Structure 1
Amino acid sequence: MQRSAFLAVTVCALLSVSGTSQVPVGHLQPLGSHRPADKEIDAYDEVISPEEFWEKYASQRKPVVFRGAGRHSAAMGLWTDEYLSRQYGRLEVKLEGKREKLGKMPVGEVGVGRDTIENFLKTYKNEDKYIVSQLPEPMYTQVSVLPCLLCGTFKRRLLEVNLWVSSGGSRSLLHRDADNAINCLLHGRKDWIMVDPAYDDFVSMAEENEGALGGFSLVNVDKVNLVRHPDFKKVHWTYSNLSAGDCIFIPYGHFHQVRSYERNVAVSVLFARLTEFSSQPDCPDNGSLPAWDLLSNQHVAWSYPGHGEMSMGNTDPEHIRELLLHASQESGKGYIDKQLFMEELCSAKELPKRPPGQTYGPDFEQCWTLVDPDEDGKVTADEISSMADATLKQLTVFLEQDPANMPDYEYYSLSHEAVRAFVGTVLRRKKSVSEKDFIAEYSLRLDGSEVFGRKLFARLDSTGRGYLTEEDIPSSSSNVFDEYYRDYGKEDMANRQFEKVLRPELEPEDIEVPHNIPRDESEPDDGDDDDADDDDGASPLEEDSEVRFQSTASRTEL
């Protein structure tokens, strides 16, 4: 009876939307409500050969799922909260909020946006925080790489490995990434909506900096505004439900939106955007699979030891080689000179080019010294082709330093004006302020961390008294706040547009909104009972999955 009433309301609502008003079907409804999914993403019970993976999927930029492939990783059985805390607790990871770009940046034991694994696991079930980080290298020994990536060009072009951990209930914007990835879910469940690049022209995008290959859509995935984004009605989509042990290939530039349920742990192996694949020299001659192997036995272009600066999101160093080779060809001389090299760097950093003879600064000069060690004033195409990986990586870091990768990211995230105003307000309000009270105010008013609040207090308390007064307010010429003068470099146009356009549309609270991906409730459980009594990450499709199937079918028939 309950189901019939639900269907009657649904059908009436849909008839009203599609028949008597001009409001588009799916308007202000969750992503995917505007039309049924085209199909479920291709799925295999076994990993296919590198050649077949290239021909059918990677070369076509077509997603595919490998059911159960993640079960070859020891991490799937070992990585409970207790084990991770005991074995890897002091390793550092990056944090984000569970709803992408919404809410304040989480604060961890290390600072804003950074935590130790141990502290994260103590707090993540009760706080809005989510590990989205490079995987620390010590953890590589318990992750297996899919055999389709273990020979030929794929093996030589592994870029980065990332870790995702949440208590469930996380959801992303509709976005696309600059590199290929195979994402393996080790615990929990995730639902994926995928949109082929063929529909790029119909997806409203935040304006990215020139040359950016990733990015996110300005469409609100919880309530798609089809009046503001009318072309989105033309967008087709596919989907997949992933359970623990499943791995999904996400092609570069392929829009996707992801929702997680229950405790979630995933590892993603990124590899290069390739235009061709060679099975030489190490793929099996008969087209069979290479043997499974550990991540710790592979060369990964950008790795992270577990402390210090990360390189998450850095460009494939080979693209720097391609940029320089292209410049040498365009020059018509078969080489690049210093002036052309500087112009290429300026273009890549989106800085204005300078007139011939004008200096570019010591950082640029150091880059030229890297590429022209013989000091003959030019770099030939042959020299570029044989350039060492280490040199290419140094150039990449110069071009693309991301403050969020720095252990002292907090200095970038807070402006010196805000910090100066905070200090003045706090010290004028009381006769004296203890270190404990100062740190508490710093955390409350600036959303800063305890460790950085303590550092600021120490700089202000130059005499070591253990308390501060109004007399300790620094003069305008003081260098106390110098650390907070750090600059991002490039202006982030996409985030500026997000704040202006998309944030006002989004729910202020972390409300779970159901969406339209069918789920097979007969899928096997991953055996993880850690959160059996925790409803926070429950799937919105779980409560009335059969009814949702029916309502989707009714809309389709209409």
Structure 2
Amino acid sequence: MAMFDVLSVILLTNCVAVLGEIPAGHLKPFGYHRPPSVPVDQFTVGNAPKPVEFYEKYVKPSKPVIFRDVLVNSDAYRLWTDEYVRHNFGEMEVRLEGKKEKKHMPPLGETYLGRDNLRHFVDTYHQKGNNVYIVSDLPSKMYKDMGVAPSFGACGEMSRRIVEVDIWWSGGGSSSIIHKDAFNQMNCLLNGTKHWKLIEYKYEKDIYKHPEPENEIGGFSDINPEHVDLIKQPKVKNVEWSNITVYAGDCLFLPKSYYHQVNSEGTNNKAVSLLFSRFDHEDNLDFSDCTENTDFKSVRSLGEFTVQWPFKGKGKMVMGNSDLEGIRHMFLEEIDFVKKNDGVVDAAYFDGVLEGYAGDGIDIDTSQIFRDMDRDGDGILSADDLKSMTTDDLRHTALQMERYEPSNHYEYEYSIMPFEGVWALVKLCAKQHKEWDKNTWLKHYKQIGGSDLFGGEIFGRLSEGKTHITSSQVTDEILYKALNKWVTYWAPQYSSLEAPPTDFSQRTLWNRLGFRWLTEETINAVRYGAQDKRLDKEENDVNKDEL
């Protein structure tokens, strides 16, 4: 933050203090501005609503509800100790984040940045100073142990619209920002305690939502939930909220787009969340299989249900993909709209619809997707075409339209370790050492969060198979070629640059980054200050001053 801005804030705060008008809760955690006032209904298995009632009273009007002790008899609740998970699911892979959302770098797993296997995780997550937090697809091998609350899973269409299943697991002490999720979800706690602060969607205008593309249905607030600045963000005082605590065995229904902030407690804090369809513009769901013979009290195994995007525990993950049935419904609505206006959805019309759906930055082959969906090959997309598509057909189509998400891939490190940070680190090594070996380089690279695997790749390319690198051989052209994959997988959300680096000229890159000299502080500012462009302006000003 510039010195003038700092003095302005101090003076403003002092003036407000003199006038006796410092807002209640200023610079305190979110919620101190006013007491919680929005009640949340609670049920047990004995009095919980049946699926139809649950949908009509809670899902449809986007109203949260807690189901107490609903999973205490499930295998996941009873069996998922560290030893059981290590023995039965140890080689399954999971995605990692830091415990403090958007503040901590994704930790390094056994091999990859931001990814680990469960064996290594359970052996290390209690170590002192460990910052690891599983936020991941739940490997499908674990579905059989996980229970599904009867109000959701006993019968009905809701239970047939599970989009993905996620696991959240840490040694406690994790906290989130204020954010909303795209889908409805049943978030079930298996170990530990979670404290939830819930905010209705209608207060979005008062929580300073960070700007996002129009087609994004998730999102987050720019408010610092630990220190709310009610002078800079005065509209927060209007926000009514709910304060709830969820215990092991409980499930919370969290509606789509419902803002929330979560703090986790307990040395083993583990939750599984079933994300299911938003049901936008779908008022009448099918509950015809709910009969007088349906068991509305017993918890069913998740293994009995179809999940649109299962993750096998290896390879590409699937977090954040689209609702397949939502895609079907979207195109059925479009076909119906065009038909009412005496038109048809042909290839030309479809091209415009699909470009609008995908948004900017996604290169899709609309002609191929149209051919895949036009099941009878008559050149017209019809309702019958859409209705005949299987889940596998829809998944194949959706994969052609999905935006690339770096954290779902083994190549994540190429994106989250931004080109400019690695580039500058090599320059620093060349400045400090006339000659250096692989161990020296890896020591530097790992200090900024990188892995042996990817650091070794850089050394191999720079050294061209030799045991040492001399500073004189590290020309800008050679360095740019060595970091080719960092260019290929460049992602704007992790970079200080406005566009992929296309010029290996040191002068050009130097000017774009604003460097005046190269120091370890400069490296860290690039590395940690540019993790996410969604930092607020004050934080960006601090980084610029440091540089």
If the length of structure 1 is used for normalisation, what is the TM-score? 0.79
Match of 1:285 among 276, 285, 292: 292
Q: Gaps (5+ residues) in structure 1?
A: 1-16, 353-359, 507-558
What SS does the aligned partner of 2:385 have? helix
What SS does the aligned partner of 2:477 have? coil
CA distance in 1, matches of 2:55, 2:276: 13
1:351 aligns with 2:377: no
Deviation at 1:375, TM superposition (A): 4.8
Q: How does 1:122-521 map to 2 (within 5 A)?
A: 122-125=123-126, 126-150=129-153, 151-262=155-266, 263-274=268-279, 275-285=282-292, 289=296, 291-331=298-338, 332-351=341-360, 363-372=365-374, 375-397=377-399, 398-427=401-430, 429-445=432-448, 447-463=449-465, 465-470=466-471, 473=474, 476=477, 479-487=481-489, 498-501=534-537
Q: Does the Cα contact within 8 Å between 1:154 and 1:277 map onto a contact in 2?
A: no
Q: Does the Cα contact within 8 Å between 2:107 and 2:131 map onto a contact in 1?
A: yes
CA distance in 2, matches of 1:488, 1:281: 49
> 1:166-222 deviations in whole A, cap 9, x for unaligned?
111111111111111111111111111111223233221011111222211112211
> 1:277-311 deviations in whole A, cap 9, x for unaligned?
54534213377616422111210011101111111
Count the aligned residue pairs: 481
Deviation at 1:224, TM superposition (A): 1.6
Q: How does 1:43-82 map to 2 (within 5 A)?
A: 43-46=42-45, 47-82=48-83
CA distance in 1, matches of 2:294, 2:19: 58
Q: Does the Cα contact within 8 Å between 1:51 and 1:279 map onto a contact in 2?
A: no
Deviation at 1:488, TM superposition (A): 6.2
AA paired with 1:423?
Answer: V
Between stretches 168-177 and 280-289, larger displacement belongs to 280-289
CA distance in 2, matches of 1:424, 1:326: 56
CA distance in 2, matches of 1:483, 1:101: 24
CA distance in 2, matches of 1:428, 1:237: 54
CA distance in 1, matches of 2:364, 2:194: 48
Q: Does the Cα contact within 8 Å between 2:188 and 2:252 map onto a contact in 1?
A: yes
- The change in CA–CA distance for 1:24 and 1:417 in structure 2 (over 3 A counts) is closer
Q: Gaps (5+ residues) in structure 2?
A: 1-15, 499-530, 543-547
CA distance in 2, matches of 1:35, 1:176: 21
Deviation at 1:329, TM superposition (A): 4.1
State the Cα RMSD in Å: 3.0
Q: How does 1:35-114 map to 2 (within 5 A)?
A: 35-46=34-45, 47-114=48-115
What SS does the aligned partner of 2:450 have? coil
Q: Does the Cα contact within 8 Å between 2:95 and 2:114 map onto a contact in 1?
A: yes
CA distance in 2, matches of 1:481, 1:133: 28
AA paired with 1:399?
Answer: E
Deviation at 1:267, TM superposition (A): 0.7
> 1:20-55 deviations in whole A, cap 9, x for unaligned?
611121222211111111155211122431122112
Deviation at 1:345, TM superposition (A): 2.6
Deviation at 1:67, TM superposition (A): 0.9
Deviation at 1:431, TM superposition (A): 4.7
Q: Does the Cα contact within 8 Å between 1:18 and 1:25 map onto a contact in 2?
A: no
Deviation at 1:474, TM superposition (A): 6.3
Identity of aligned residues (%): 34
CA distance in 1, matches of 2:476, 2:26: 55
Q: Which has the higher contact order (CA 8 A, sep 6+)?
A: 1
> 1:92-131 deviations in whole A, cap 9, x for unaligned?
1111111111122222223221112222223323322211
If the length of structure 2 is used for normalisation, what is the TM-score? 0.80
Q: Does the Cα contact within 8 Å between 1:166 and 1:264 map onto a contact in 2?
A: yes
CA distance in 1, matches of 2:90, 2:541: 38
Deviation at 1:372, TM superposition (A): 3.5
